[in-house]
């Protein structure tokens, strides 16, 4: 995130970075999304991620994952949106197909 705000970054972790800087910055810092398949991961990423991505799980488990994410967020940032979809051969998106099929079962 510091790079996306135009700051110079030096780090010595898994990758060593010495005075890295982006010379062309986006108009706005893009949101950071994190995937989570468990409550523990959702709670961890809720502390810093802007949004949550997950896969189809049992409804009760999904409620627990979303609740853990929301609980670790500031009150003003607890909104959650859902988009269902899939890719079919050829890479075409089929957004909304899953929810329509579920409604007819």
In terms of domains, do 78 and 37 share one? yes
Could you give the CA distance from residue 27 to residue 68 in angstroms, rounded to a whole number?
A: 32
Q: Is pLDDT above 70 for 85?
A: no
Could you give the CA distance from residue 10 to residue 12 in angstroms, rounded to a whole number?
A: 7
The token pair that represents 42 in the structure block: 């959702």
In terms of domains, do 50 and 82 share one? yes
pLDDT of residue 79: 57
Boundaries of domain holding 13:
1-30
Q: What is the pLDDT of residues 59-76, one digit of tens each?
A: 888 889 888 988 888 765
Could you give the CA distance from residue 85 to residue 97 in angstroms, rounded to a whole number?
A: 6
Q: What is the pLDDT of residues 24-39, one digit of tens each?
A: 998 988 888 888 889 9
pTM of the model: 0.59
């Amino acid at each position: 995130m510091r790079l996306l705000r135009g700051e110079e970054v030096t780090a010595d972790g898994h990758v060593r970075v010495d005075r890295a800087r982006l010379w062309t910055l986006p108009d706005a810092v893009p949101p950071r999304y994190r995937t989570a398949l468990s409550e523990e991961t959702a709670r961890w990423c809720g502390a810093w991620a802007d949004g949550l991505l997950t896969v189809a799980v049992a409804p009760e488990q999904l409620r627990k994952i979303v609740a853990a994410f929301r609980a670790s967020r500031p009150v003003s940032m607890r909104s959650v949106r859902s988009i269902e979809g899939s890719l079919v051969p050829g890479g075409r998106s089929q957004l909304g197909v899953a929810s329509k099929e579920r409604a007819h079962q």
